[in-house]
């Protein structure tokens, strides 16, 4: 399973990259705004910097919602760096845009997926990734993990190459359950990834080893 970090924060991206387990980065307009990025030039520069820090696929989301504008914007984003993946919302014009980019060999990530039918449409349009939002489904008392399972079955039935990129991760348990179901990728805030490290018996065991190591001289 690939690990992407879901942030536009350069320090967190660098920390995850330095850890040696990072396979890519996802961003969205809300995450970019959180970093105070504003204006076309600043946005393009920020993506360029992310590509210089992190290896692997870097999802950059279009801000527009019409076919023509998404094509223009997506082509500008794709020109920044070969690792850029154009992130397109799950709307009718988005499906057309996914097909356009697929035909041109530009990688895409279809975002805001909340149903198996949406994932199927995006895969048929040639999306490289679909991003089902687990946490936001859980937030409204719908089991987000069921959606990952449904998409896994459908994609396996028809051998779609589209990768399931589980997004809106809220906890280490989301990551573990995604791995059990067979999501291809998780994109997560840094703290949920780092929380995978923790176990009280590891801390207790290490404290004992350190104490006993002192006795060894």
| Residues annotated as part of the active site | 87
Q: Out of 3, 4, 5, 6, point to the residue binding ligand G3P (CB under 6 A).
A: 6
User: How many residues touch ligand G3P (CB under 6 A)?
Assistant: 9
| Count of CB atoms situated within 10 Å of the CB of 138 | 16
Residue 176, Cβ neighbours under 10 Å: how many? 12
**Choices 120-128, 130-138, 149-157, 205-213; region in contact with ligand G3P by CB under 6 A:** 130-138
> Which of 83, 108, 128, 187 is in the footprint of ligand G3P by CB under 6 A?
187
Give Cα separations from 143 to 110, 126, 137, 149 (angstroms).
Answer: 20, 27, 6, 11
Alpha carbon 2 to chain centroid distance?
Answer: 9
Q: Based on the shown chain and the rule CB under 6 A, indicate whether residue 118 belongs to the binding site for ligand G3P.
A: no
3, 4, 133, 160: residue in contact with ligand G3P (rule CB under 6 A) = 133
Residues 22-61 that bind ligand G3P (CB under 6 A): 26, 28
Q: Counting contacts by CB under 6 A, is residue 135 touching ligand G3P?
A: yes
- Alpha helix (H) ranges present in 3-140? 10-19, 29-34, 40-53, 67-78, 92-104, 116-124, 134-139
Residues that bind ligand G3P (CB under 6 A): 6, 26, 28, 133, 135-136, 167-168, 187
């Amino acid at each position: 399973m690939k690990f992407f970090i879901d942030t536009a924060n350069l320090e967190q991206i660098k920390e995850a990259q330095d850890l040696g387990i990072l396979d890519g980065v996802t961003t969205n307009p809300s995450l970019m705004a959180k970093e105070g990025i504003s204006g076309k030039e600043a946005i393009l520069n920020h993506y360029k910097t992310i590509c210089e820090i992190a290896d692997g696929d870097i999802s950059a989301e279009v801000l527009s919602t019409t076919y023509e504008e998404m094509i223009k914007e997506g082509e500008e984003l794709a020109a920044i760096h070969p690792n850029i993946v154009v992130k397109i919302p799950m709307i009718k014009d988005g499906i057309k845009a996914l097909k356009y980019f697929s035909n041109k060999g530009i990688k895409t990530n279809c975002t805001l997926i909340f149903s198996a039918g949406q994932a199927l449409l995006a895969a048929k349009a040639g999306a490289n990734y679909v991003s089902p939002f687990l946490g936001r489904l859980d937030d409204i008392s719908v089991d987000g993990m069921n959606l990952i399972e449904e998409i896994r079955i459908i994609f396996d039935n028809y051998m779609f190459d589209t990768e399931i990129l589980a997004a809106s991760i809220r906890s280490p348990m989301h990551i573990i359950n995604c791995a059990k179901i067979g999501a291809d990728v998780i994109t997560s805030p840094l703290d949920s990834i780092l929380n995978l490290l923790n176990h009280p018996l590891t801390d207790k065991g290490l404290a004992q080893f350190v104490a006993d190591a002192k006795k060894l001289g």
